[in-house]
Amino acid sequence: MSDADLALRALRLLDLTDLSDQANETGTLQLCARAVAAPGTVAAICIWPQFLKLARQTLKASPVRIATVINFPAGNGNCSLIGSDIAEAIADGADEIDLVLPWRAFLAGDAEIAREMVTEARGSCGDKTLKVILETGEYPDQAAVRAASELAIAAGADFIKTSTGKTKTSATPAAARTMLEAIKVSGRPVGLKPSGGLRTLADAKTYLDLADEIMGSAWATAKTFRFGASGLYGVLADIIAGTVPAERTDGAY
């Protein structure tokens, strides 16, 4: 596969993201425009809840899905507002919910609160897509990543996602491998979303190669695999257009 073909494959799996502290309406409109621009539409955008209505109005004629974040980025253990927050997000136009697992509580031994939150979110999402963010960069070892993956899958996640992009360590190949292995063993149609720190075509290739190796070459579609990134978009678009950019870091996520 040529670099251009690989870049187009990755672009179509991208959740084009703006979860920066500087996010605003102008930036949201620009994000929406990039999501549907040549050389091809991305899978989704991922934005703060307060910009959902604007994005829905802007993308109403587009196949691009709209994702937002809940319990983000802290991953608190309070389940009381999860249902109402998700209901409001869906009413405002969200197709997909990216929920942060209460990972600190989970790592402290309180798996029940983590299970309760994902179960509550699953019920509140209805037929909308639920992605559960594990925050794997904060875990002590791959056994913990495996246990969190299994919990999220069993409680109803449609995707398991590596990271918020707000901690020192985001997606890693080791965590992605562990998560893919948990998905395969589960036998459920659950997807993977590596997120945070993805900035080059080589980064994208690493994770696609893992998916192809563990799940099979036909598995990674927009229904089962996403990249969560902001800066990756420009790199992929440049490669598809035939220019080879210098190393770019035009997004922290």
Exposed / middle / buried, residue 231 (Cβ in 10 Å: 0-12, 13-18, 19+): middle
**Tokens 């969190």 belong to residue:** 148
Choose among 38, 40, 36, 78: nearest CA to 58.
Answer: 36
At CA 102, angle to CA 48 and CA 84, rounded to 5? 50
CB neighbourhood size of 163 (10 A) = 26
Query: What is the phi/psi pair of residue 101, to 5°?
Result: -60, 145
Just list the catalytic residues. 98, 161, 193
- On the 0-12 / 13-18 / 19+ scale of CB atoms within 10 A, 189 is exposed
Q: Which 3-state string (H, E, C) describes 54-97?
A: HHHHHCCCCCCEEEEEECCCCCCCCCCCHHHHHHHHHHCCCCEE
The rounded distance, in Å, linking the Cα atoms of 28 and 24 is 6
